[in-house]
Amino acid sequence: MIYTCTMNPAIDMYVEVDELKANTVNRTNDEDYQANGKGINVSIMLKKFGIDSTALGFIAGFTGKYIKDSLSEINIQSDFVYCDGTTRINVFLNAESEYKIVNQGPYINLPEQEEILSKIKAIPSGSTLIVSGSLPRGVPESIIVDISRICQENDVKFVLDTSANSLLDTLKHEPYLLKPNEEELADLYNEADSLSEQKIIKYGKDLLNKGAQQVIVSRGDEGSIYFSEEHLLKTTAPQGTVVNTACSGDAMLSAFMAKRSQNETIENALSYASAVGASTAFSRGLSDLKDIATLQKEIKVYQIKEEIK
């Protein structure tokens, strides 16, 4: 069974205007509202692949109820911790450029944090837990390390996609898969500038050497690089018009996990995941999967000829 955990979920509101003007009423051409949050996105995409999951995390207020109801409508099971306040609403606005307005969300108290850890401790052995997204107010980064320890002790595969620096502290618990993007990887290693491919390889291998079983570094239109003990692979990305990049990494991760759970090869899983991530970036929300076969034809996966040390 696969579980996802979204500490700071959201409703994402997508709006489109011809031009964003100051000090005037900007009327939209299009709008959409979606239950969101990185782990929730993974659960939604897994459902599209025919794979069931249970969504965990914190929700609050009428917006939290909207998220729970939205998942229930598509037959995704959830086991959220209820909190005071209101689950956040984020705004993604497309005009002459893409604008992202991301709110803080509710404050999470200690009893609620302890409750989510109790739910994670109850996940059956042999399951997979995907923890994805940012941490809400009140929740320390150390909770990520606590979760990684619980997963190791209970024989649960731990998958992590977060910008939290505590990612490095989970390595001693041998996470099954880490999926930083290029910018997050740079932050982890205190790099102020964009990373060269050589530095991505250097730092990806360092994550492996310190305990990670697999690493995928997503690079937007540059594709991705995959690391494991047996493989060092580079994946190209298809070309297209980017509409919204907010969910593409989540879609990519869910597609990779889905294909690997169906015993696809690493190469095929990476190719498919790259297509699903790109399709999502070319869409207003998560991909409907209709263009995956076409996009996948543009993608190449090849071995980087360098020994992993």
Q: Which residues are catalytic?
A: 250
- Spatial separation of the C-alpha atoms in residues 122 and 216, rounded to whole Å: 28
3: nearest Cα among 117, 150, 157, 178: 157
Cβ(151)–Cβ(122) below 8 Å: no
- The region that residue 105 occupies, defined by phi over 0 for left and psi between -120 and 50 for alpha, beta otherwise, is left
- Spatial separation of the C-alpha atoms in residues 272 and 155, rounded to whole Å: 28
CA distances from 15 to 20, 25, 36, 212, 287 (A): 11, 14, 15, 39, 17
What's the CA angle centered on 234, arms 232 and 238, to 5 degrees?
Answer: 160
Using CB atoms within 10 A of its CB, is residue 264 exposed (0-12), middle (13-18) or buried (19+)? Answer: middle
Cβ(185)–Cβ(203) below 8 Å: yes
Cβ(262)–Cβ(55) below 8 Å: no
